[in-house]
Structure 1
Amino acid sequence: MTRIVAGAAGGRRLKVPPGETTRPTSERVREALFSALEAAGAVSGGRVLDLYAGSGALGLEAASRGAAQVVLVEAARAAAATARANAAALGLEGVRVVHERVERFLASPGAVLEGGWDLVLLDPPYAVGEEELAGVLAAAAPLLAEGATVVVERSSRSPEPRWPQPPGEVRRRRYGETSVWTARC
């Protein structure tokens, strides 16, 4: 069962896309991640971009915890439909779902936000290679607000993502088979 951990929609259940094409972030990982992000002031009132959104669990967690604007980007039709259903069921303000490939979205005018994105969450399928991920990070870099936070979730066997420019601070936390890199830009 996947559910929102805390905030306005805390405890509410989320649907997951059918099949095995997505890998929802575990509740334990989301709880630890968002506790750290909230402590750093990276969520409340922020503009959040959730790339490879799947069911929308990460972005919807941010919305539940007070993010002002959240865009969920997902290429898989079934996953985008699930994210859209989850967003509608929770009724959180400022959430939008975009059914499009991440690379295409980042190159579109819809990705440009006045003032930039404050928090970017990337939880790509493990099949996404390091080169592809590096390209996505490079495409997202010019869209970031000053002092933005970028979070990348990968397999613990994956190397650290290749950042397009050296971030100010990078932290890696391991949760079993999952590693989460948090970079302040």
Structure 2
Amino acid sequence: MRVIAGTARRLALKTVEGMDTRPTTDRIKETLFNMLNAQIPGCRFLDLFSGSGAIGIEALSRGAESAVFVEHNRRAAQCIQQNLSFTRLKDRAVLMQTDVCSALRKMEGEKPFDIIFMDPPYRQGLEREVLEMLADSSLADAQTLIITEAALDTAFDYLDGLGYSLLKYKKYKTNAHIFMKKTEGSTS
């Protein structure tokens, strides 16, 4: 796995050995960032369930102002630290080694992120739990783009009821990216 573009282009990233994380493939990452290209420069990026940190690091490499990485797994958090040091991007990054819900509660009251990306373990309902928390959070407003990576069989039919509108559903062979925003006028 490598950084695709930007200041850290072509640098190889470490990944966590074993099955605890599922790194997003370079091809899917490239497709994702081609879709986000115009929104990345100068943005505040939140990378939830960060794994190796590859998504947030790609955002920083492409010009994001800052990125917050949230990863509970100790080995994965160490991997993120090493990758941030190796890519020389750690000065614009914050790593929170805790579970996502605790991190969101701790950050509550801060200004909204421009982009929130989450890649939770599949089929555990964690994406819904996070979206429920973000629905009433200061961390996301109607301008915040929220992207979830999920298994193809994950249902998102509850989005409207939580105050989100589905913007795009990008399907790949084994998973999908779901793009959404809070509906204008929804509580935040």
- The two structures have a TM-score, normalised by structure 2, of 0.88
Give structure 1 regions of 4+ aligned residues with deviation exceeding 4 angstroms.
Answer: none
Decide whether the 8 Å contact of 1:134 with 1:161 is kept in 2: no
Once residues 10 and 158 of structure 2 are traced to their aligned partners in structure 1, the CA distance between those partners, rounded to angstroms, is 35
Secondary structure at 2:58's aligned position in 1? Answer: helix
CA drift at 1:42: 2.1
1:105 equivalent to 2:103? Answer yes
Once residues 161 and 36 of structure 1 are traced to their aligned partners in structure 2, the CA distance between those partners, rounded to angstroms, is 23
- Matched residue, 1:59: 56
Once residues 85 and 119 of structure 1 are traced to their aligned partners in structure 2, the CA distance between those partners, rounded to angstroms, is 23
Relative to structure 1, is the Cα distance of residues 88 and 112 closer, same or farther in structure 2, using a 3 angstrom cutoff?
Answer: farther
Secondary structure at 1:84's aligned position in 2? Answer: helix
Secondary structure at 1:86's aligned position in 2? Answer: helix
Over the aligned positions, Cα root-mean-square deviation in angstroms equals: 1.5
Amino acid at match of 1:33: L
Amino acid at match of 1:119: I
Encode CA deviations 1:130-183: one digit per residue, 9 max, x unaligned.
Answer: 2x321211212321144110000011122227432132x421111110111111
1:174 equivalent to 2:174? Answer no
- Matched residue, 1:73: 70
Decide whether the 8 Å contact of 2:164 with 2:181 is kept in 1: no
Secondary structure at 1:117's aligned position in 2? Answer: coil
Once residues 162 and 78 of structure 1 are traced to their aligned partners in structure 2, the CA distance between those partners, rounded to angstroms, is 34
Once residues 98 and 173 of structure 1 are traced to their aligned partners in structure 2, the CA distance between those partners, rounded to angstroms, is 29
Decide whether the 8 Å contact of 2:118 with 2:127 is kept in 1: no
Relative to structure 1, is the Cα distance of residues 18 and 64 closer, same or farther in structure 2, using a 3 angstrom cutoff?
Answer: same
Amino acid at match of 1:166: Y
Once residues 124 and 105 of structure 1 are traced to their aligned partners in structure 2, the CA distance between those partners, rounded to angstroms, is 14
Relative to structure 1, is the Cα distance of residues 52 and 161 closer, same or farther in structure 2, using a 3 angstrom cutoff?
Answer: farther
- The two structures have a TM-score, normalised by structure 1, of 0.89
- Matched residue, 2:185: none
Structure 1 unaligned spans of 5+:
none
Amino acid at match of 1:6: A
Equivalent residues in 2 for 1:1-185, closer than 5 Å: 2-38=1-37, 41-92=38-89, 93-108=91-106, 110-114=107-111, 116-127=112-123, 129-130=124-125, 132-141=126-135, 142=137, 143-160=139-156, 162-163=158-159, 164-167=162-165, 169-185=166-182
Amino acid at match of 2:33: F
Decide whether the 8 Å contact of 1:24 with 1:54 is kept in 2: yes
Once residues 45 and 99 of structure 1 are traced to their aligned partners in structure 2, the CA distance between those partners, rounded to angstroms, is 24
Relative to structure 1, is the Cα distance of residues 117 and 161 closer, same or farther in structure 2, using a 3 angstrom cutoff?
Answer: farther
CA drift at 1:124: 0.6
